[in-house]
Chain A
Amino acid sequence: MGSSERKSAGVLEPTMYTASMMAMVVLIVLAACADLCNGVTVVDVYRLVQYDLAGVPFGSRFASLNHHAASSLFSSGAGSGSGSGGGNSAAAADLSRTVLILPLRELNLALIREYIGQRKILGGLLLLLPSIFNPKNVDNTGEADHTPAEDVSRDILVELEQLLIHANIPYPVYFAFEHDDINAVLVDVKRNDVTGQPATATTGGYKLVVAAPEPRKIGSPAITNIQGWLPGLKADADSNQLPTIAIVASYDTFGAAPALSVGSDSNGSGVVALLEIARLFSILYSNPRTRGRYNLLFGLTSGGPYNYNGTYKWLRSFDQRLRESIDYAICLNSIGSSGDKLWVHVSKPPENAYIKQIFEGISSVAEELGLEVGLKHKKINISNPRVAWEHEQFSRIRVTAATLSELSVAPELLESTGGLSDNRHFVNEASVVRSVKLVAESLARHIYNQDGKNINVFADDSSLAVNPSYIRSWLNLLSTTPRVAPFLTKNDPLIMALKKELTEHTVEVNVQHEVLDGLFTFYDSTSSQLHIYQVASVTFDLLLLLVLGSYLIILFSFLVVTTRGLDDLISIFRRPPSRKVKTA
């Protein structure tokens, strides 16, 4: 009986064992994978924008990264002309297989400019930004809270951003935010650099790896305009169409890192102001007695950084009657930083009656609010494709328009479009409130024919007061949502939220999807994860091998001696037994 049992067990056993082996191996592999993730530092990184402008490549042209880390451009005197490294410039370090980690605080902009200008090759560039520039780092103070030191680094960042955007950089460039893990790595890397040895596989150090696929072109980037319509009160016998006032703000952004371009000021502040103005007037227009004899048209346009392409498309979609009915348009652009000076930018001469009327309306309210408002006239050159202000798109179709902005001069292409340095910390909620009051009050006076009179429609503590918490919540939302148009889908949550908000305040909301035309081509892969591995050097491995080898030899000798005796050990090595050992 026993033997038969054993036989059947013998048949069963192999399959059971293989099954158990499989189960074990799967378990072990899973456990090992879980273990693996512990030792590695993983950091969120944001890639420098990659785009083509009329076929000319700009930005960071690569995404994947796998190189050792270094902390200084000229750690080995790489022939920089910086003066200090002149002595050993012959030993120019080859940095083509090295990732430089450069903290913004210690950045030497001139050196970077030179390095990028000369198109020297790097393995990659990792720029560490102070955490104040992290859009996720939002507190609800409502005040613009930043120290003078941060202002300085902001200025550097603005310059750096422009430099990087307009350069063609043949290696991956990433942004990350300072925090403890990466700072610890940086300290280590710096210490290695000080000893003078370049970080290579033989000296150990850190390896930075970003596993990202090759960036792909984004086919036909979509732009989405949202418009809200608040009809005015028509008199019974009036057959004429009511005049329309348009309030417009472009909501999208552009910056060195698309995943970080939240643009709190440019143009988050304009969008927030527009929403608040829509809310205020929706209260007024909901009651027939306070409903004005003007239609109000609210437009949230996209494509702002690209010569206001969305505004262009939006205006072209108007029918003739609507276009002719527009009395004037006010564009809101960057009105949230804490200065006391705003500018009204126009493209018709200041002597023009309409312009005069708009400006006087605004400046009289501004005086009461303690604001200073200046008028700036910039002629449009039709042959120049550059559209610096949103109102210029209106002016091109002969609609009177003005842009209210804190910027005193027209920005260049892709400048002041809500990039890296433009976030919640540098936007003052009180300024936005004041700007909202300014625009809403001047509009109301115009609509209700109270021009020049000192009445206060939107007085504080009234039911029509500007709501700071509404402004704060929208400002916080926009300050955490990157809004680079090519990376926003048609049904992006942000677009849906803006549409829903306008639906609540206006009677008719239309969403217009268009394709961004012009000469821009964008590439994806805007953010990914950086893995920082601490790697051992070859010398360490060699040493370890040596130690292990001697350990095994000693173990062998010990075992032979204890189990078989010393003589056996000696006979293994085939040496004639010496007398000394024998006597011992």
Chain B
Amino acid sequence: MMNTAAKNDSSYVYNQRVKRKNMISAAIRYLVLIVVGIFMIYPLVWMVGATFKPNSEIFSGLNIIPKNPTTQGYIDAVKSYGGNINIWKALLNTFTIVIPKVIFTVVSATLTAYGFGRFNFVGKKFLYPIMISTLFLPQVVLNVPQYILYNKLGWVGSPLYLPLIVPSLFACDTYFIFMLVQFLHNVPKELEEAAKIDGCNVMQTLIKVVVPMLMPAIVSCALFQFMWSSNDFMGPLLYVNTPAKYPASYFVKLSMDSDAGFSWNRVLATSLISIIPSIVIFFMAQDQFVDGISAGGVKG
């Protein structure tokens, strides 16, 4: 009798101790997350604040909220530097590149992934490893010869952005094929077989059965391609040479070169405007980004 009471007592003490210990470690975890989180987010929040500050205030303190709020930065940011280009036009140019690129990538990558993921054909044993190995083919070794190729084709400086868009018609971003093939492996084949029995040909099966099931992965591909292509700097640097055709990424770099040092609120406002589409897309589709990146990575 005594014995059990003592035991209960000690287990109560033990539980209390465990509870306290858990609470302390949870507190430490939160502390780490918050401190690191501040480092992650503070620069971005500061940037937003700085766009509303007068130039004299931007580098005169660590505060985020402007003491003398002004929209002068934005007023200057939307003004042209001359040369028939401003930030709105540059953003429009970005979309002119990115939207076709996204559509072409999604279509070509889906076709390729369907071909590799669902069929056996002559040469697949040879071509599939080649496709995978291009995943590891660094772009740095392709930049120069691709430039020479596009130069020979007369595509450099093309008003239709041919060097930036055409390769996406041919599924040149292997990463997306890989992502879709991985996803396809986890999709059961039964529905496709049923569709075949119902008399669908392969193309109908693809459009009516496979694409709907692949949709989450396709959306992820589209989102990533949107982000990466909007951020792309080297492509426009090499292949766009008329100011009126500059996309936002290149325009922001030029704006920094001409204004940094005396008009930081203009430069930062221009920068911020240039990433607003990406920010909006990110917050609309956060989960797809996370799912997409985990699916692509883990199965690899």
A and B: interacting chains: no
What is A's interface to B at a CB cutoff of 8 Å? Answer: none
What is B's interface to A at a CB cutoff of 8 Å? Answer: none
